[in-house]
Protein backbone atom coordinates (compact mmCIF):
# COMPACT_ATOMS: atom_id res chain seq x y z
CA UNK A 1 0.00 0.00 0.00
CA UNK A 2 1.34 3.45 -0.90
CA UNK A 3 1.53 5.93 1.92
CA UNK A 4 -0.64 9.09 1.44
CA UNK A 5 2.40 11.42 1.83
CA UNK A 6 4.19 9.65 -1.04
CA UNK A 7 1.10 10.22 -3.20
CA UNK A 8 1.21 13.94 -2.34
CA UNK A 9 4.91 14.24 -3.25
CA UNK A 10 4.39 12.31 -6.50
CA UNK A 11 1.49 14.56 -7.50
CA UNK A 12 3.58 17.69 -6.75
CA UNK A 13 6.50 16.42 -8.85
CA UNK A 14 4.22 15.60 -11.78
CA UNK A 15 2.46 18.96 -11.51
CA UNK A 16 5.72 20.95 -11.45
CA UNK A 17 7.19 18.91 -14.32
CA UNK A 18 4.19 19.75 -16.52
CA UNK A 19 4.55 23.49 -15.84
CA UNK A 20 1.39 23.66 -13.73
CA UNK A 21 2.01 24.52 -10.11
CA UNK A 22 -0.90 23.00 -8.27
CA UNK A 23 -1.15 20.62 -5.43
CA UNK A 24 -4.02 18.61 -4.10
CA UNK A 25 -4.14 17.24 -0.66
CA UNK A 26 -5.20 13.67 -0.49
CA UNK A 27 -8.86 13.29 0.31
CA UNK A 28 -9.86 12.83 3.92
CA UNK A 29 -9.62 9.23 5.01
CA UNK A 30 -12.84 7.32 4.48
CA UNK A 31 -14.73 6.50 7.60
CA UNK A 32 -15.90 2.93 7.52
CA UNK A 33 -19.26 2.36 9.09
CA UNK A 34 -19.61 -0.60 11.35
CA UNK A 35 -21.76 -3.45 10.18
CA UNK A 36 -25.33 -3.14 11.41
CA UNK A 37 -26.16 -5.53 14.25
CA UNK A 38 -29.75 -6.54 13.52
CA UNK A 39 -30.08 -8.91 16.48
CA UNK A 40 -29.06 -6.19 18.94
CA UNK A 41 -31.45 -3.77 17.26
CA UNK A 42 -34.33 -6.24 17.61
CA UNK A 43 -33.44 -7.00 21.23
CA UNK A 44 -33.58 -3.29 22.13
CA UNK A 45 -36.88 -2.68 20.31
CA UNK A 46 -39.97 -2.54 22.54
CA UNK A 47 -43.59 -2.89 21.52
CA UNK A 48 -46.94 -2.32 23.09
CA UNK A 49 -48.64 -4.73 23.43
CA UNK A 50 -45.62 -6.81 24.41
CA UNK A 51 -44.91 -9.80 22.17
CA UNK A 52 -46.89 -12.95 23.14
CA UNK A 53 -48.94 -11.03 25.70
CA UNK A 54 -52.46 -11.85 26.86
CA UNK A 55 -54.79 -9.01 27.85
CA UNK A 56 -58.29 -8.94 29.28
CA UNK A 57 -59.49 -6.35 26.76
CA UNK A 58 -58.52 -5.48 23.21
CA UNK A 59 -55.76 -2.88 22.96
CA UNK A 60 -56.70 0.59 21.73
CA UNK A 61 -53.31 1.41 20.19
CA UNK A 62 -50.06 -0.12 18.92
CA UNK A 63 -46.69 1.43 19.68
CA UNK A 64 -43.10 0.70 18.66
CA UNK A 65 -39.99 2.11 20.37
CA UNK A 66 -36.68 1.63 18.52
CA UNK A 67 -33.14 2.13 19.92
CA UNK A 68 -32.35 4.70 17.21
CA UNK A 69 -34.13 6.89 14.69
CA UNK A 70 -35.49 4.86 11.78
CA UNK A 71 -38.00 5.20 8.97
CA UNK A 72 -41.00 2.93 9.47
CA UNK A 73 -41.90 1.59 6.02
CA UNK A 74 -44.41 -1.12 6.96
CA UNK A 75 -46.90 -1.76 9.75
CA UNK A 76 -49.71 -4.28 9.28
CA UNK A 77 -52.11 -6.04 11.63
CA UNK A 78 -53.93 -9.32 10.93
CA UNK A 79 -55.60 -12.08 12.89
CA UNK A 80 -54.69 -15.77 12.93
CA UNK A 81 -56.91 -16.38 9.88
CA UNK A 82 -54.90 -13.79 7.93
CA UNK A 83 -57.74 -11.27 7.88
CA UNK A 84 -56.24 -7.77 7.60
CA UNK A 85 -57.22 -4.96 9.94
CA UNK A 86 -57.12 -1.47 8.46
CA UNK A 87 -55.02 0.58 10.90
CA UNK A 88 -54.60 3.48 8.46
CA UNK A 89 -50.80 3.17 8.27
CA UNK A 90 -49.17 5.70 5.95
CA UNK A 91 -45.45 5.92 5.27
CA UNK A 92 -43.79 9.03 6.66
CA UNK A 93 -40.23 9.64 5.37
CA UNK A 94 -39.24 11.51 8.54
CA UNK A 95 -37.12 9.27 10.81
CA UNK A 96 -38.16 8.80 14.41
CA UNK A 97 -37.54 6.35 17.25
CA UNK A 98 -41.11 6.14 18.55
CA UNK A 99 -44.31 5.33 16.61
CA UNK A 100 -47.92 4.85 17.76
CA UNK A 101 -51.23 4.09 16.02
CA UNK A 102 -54.79 4.07 17.28
CA UNK A 103 -56.63 0.83 16.61
CA UNK A 104 -60.22 0.27 15.53
CA UNK A 105 -62.38 -2.02 17.63
CA UNK A 106 -60.84 -5.47 17.21
CA UNK A 107 -63.08 -8.49 16.69
CA UNK A 108 -62.62 -11.59 18.80
CA UNK A 109 -59.82 -13.80 17.47
CA UNK A 110 -57.36 -16.39 18.76
CA UNK A 111 -54.56 -13.84 18.35
CA UNK A 112 -53.34 -10.89 16.28
CA UNK A 113 -49.96 -10.40 14.59
CA UNK A 114 -48.39 -7.00 13.88
CA UNK A 115 -45.65 -7.08 11.21
CA UNK A 116 -43.31 -4.12 10.79
CA UNK A 117 -40.28 -3.13 8.73
CA UNK A 118 -37.90 -0.20 9.14
CA UNK A 119 -34.96 1.28 7.30
CA UNK A 120 -32.25 1.51 9.93
CA UNK A 121 -28.55 2.33 9.92
CA UNK A 122 -26.98 2.35 6.45
CA UNK A 123 -30.54 2.08 5.04
CA UNK A 124 -30.60 -1.58 5.97
CA UNK A 125 -34.07 -3.12 6.04
CA UNK A 126 -34.97 -4.71 9.37
CA UNK A 127 -38.17 -6.69 9.83
CA UNK A 128 -39.94 -7.77 12.97
CA UNK A 129 -43.29 -8.80 14.37
CA UNK A 130 -45.13 -9.19 17.61
CA UNK A 131 -48.33 -10.93 18.54
CA UNK A 132 -50.95 -10.61 21.26
CA UNK A 133 -54.30 -12.01 22.29
CA UNK A 134 -57.11 -10.75 24.48
CA UNK A 135 -60.23 -12.01 26.21
CA UNK A 136 -61.20 -13.94 29.32
CA UNK A 137 -60.25 -17.35 27.89
CA UNK A 138 -57.37 -16.13 25.73
CA UNK A 139 -54.13 -18.09 25.49
CA UNK A 140 -50.71 -16.74 24.52
CA UNK A 141 -50.24 -16.63 20.73
CA UNK A 142 -47.19 -18.90 21.04
CA UNK A 143 -49.46 -21.76 22.17
CA UNK A 144 -51.67 -21.37 19.09
CA UNK A 145 -48.60 -21.20 16.85
CA UNK A 146 -47.16 -24.39 18.37
CA UNK A 147 -50.46 -26.19 17.76
CA UNK A 148 -50.47 -24.98 14.14
CA UNK A 149 -46.88 -26.20 13.74
CA UNK A 150 -47.76 -29.64 15.13
CA UNK A 151 -50.76 -29.89 12.79
CA UNK A 152 -48.51 -29.09 9.82
CA UNK A 153 -46.05 -31.79 10.90
CA UNK A 154 -48.86 -34.31 11.23
CA UNK A 155 -50.25 -33.36 7.84
CA UNK A 156 -46.95 -33.38 5.90
CA UNK A 157 -44.68 -35.48 8.13
CA UNK A 158 -41.70 -33.25 7.41
CA UNK A 159 -40.87 -30.32 9.75
CA UNK A 160 -39.08 -28.56 6.88
CA UNK A 161 -42.28 -28.27 4.81
CA UNK A 162 -43.75 -24.79 5.10
CA UNK A 163 -47.10 -23.65 3.79
CA UNK A 164 -48.79 -20.32 3.79
CA UNK A 165 -52.54 -20.28 4.14
CA UNK A 166 -54.14 -18.13 1.43
CA UNK A 167 -56.51 -15.39 2.52
CA UNK A 168 -60.05 -16.55 3.04
CA UNK A 169 -62.39 -16.04 0.11
CA UNK A 170 -66.16 -16.23 -0.12
CA UNK A 171 -67.38 -18.84 -2.60
CA UNK A 172 -71.04 -18.56 -3.56
CA UNK A 173 -72.78 -21.74 -4.74
CA UNK A 174 -76.41 -22.35 -5.78
CA UNK A 175 -77.35 -18.74 -6.18
CA UNK A 176 -79.27 -17.72 -9.27
CA UNK A 177 -77.90 -14.80 -11.23
CA UNK A 178 -79.82 -11.56 -10.68
CA UNK A 179 -82.85 -11.04 -12.90
CA UNK A 180 -83.29 -7.73 -14.66
CA UNK A 181 -86.23 -6.56 -16.73
CA UNK A 182 -85.35 -4.97 -20.04
CA UNK A 183 -85.81 -1.21 -20.08
CA UNK A 184 -89.09 -1.39 -22.04
CA UNK A 185 -91.63 -4.12 -21.45
CA UNK A 186 -94.69 -4.35 -23.66
CA UNK A 187 -97.75 -5.73 -21.91
CA UNK A 188 -100.67 -6.58 -24.17
CA UNK A 189 -104.10 -6.49 -22.69
CA UNK A 190 -106.33 -9.28 -24.00
CA UNK A 191 -109.26 -6.89 -24.56
CA UNK A 192 -107.34 -4.66 -26.95
CA UNK A 193 -106.14 -7.42 -29.25
CA UNK A 194 -107.93 -7.89 -32.53
CA UNK A 195 -108.46 -11.39 -33.86
CA UNK A 196 -106.47 -12.37 -36.90
Q: Give the model confidence (pLDDT) of 54-85 as tens digits.
A: 999 999 999 999 999 999 999 999 998 888 99
- pLDDT at site 131: 94
pLDDT band for position 28 (50/70/90)? very low
pLDDT band for position 10 (50/70/90)? very low
CATH for 38-156 (1.20.1260.10, 3.40.1080.10, 3.40.50.300, 2.60.40.1220): 2.60.40.1220
- pLDDT at site 145: 82
One DSSP character per residue, the chain reads ---HHHHHHHHHHHHHHTT-----PPPPPPPPPPPP-HHHHHHH-EEESPTTEEESS--SEEEEEEEEEEEEEEEEEEETT--EE--------S-EEEEEEE--PPPP-S-EEEEEEEE-GGG-EEEEEEEEEESTT---HHHHHHHHHHHHHHHHS-TT----PPPP-----S-PPPP---S------TTTPPP-
**47, pLDDT greater than 90:** yes
User: Domain boundaries in the chain?
Assistant: 38-156
Amino acid sequence: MIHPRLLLVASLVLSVGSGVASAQLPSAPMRYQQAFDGSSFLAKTTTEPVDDSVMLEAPVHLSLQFPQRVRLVKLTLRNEKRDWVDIDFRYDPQPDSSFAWSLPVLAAADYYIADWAVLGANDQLVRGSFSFSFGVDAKPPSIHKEIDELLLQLRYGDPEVRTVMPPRTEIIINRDPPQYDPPFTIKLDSTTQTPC
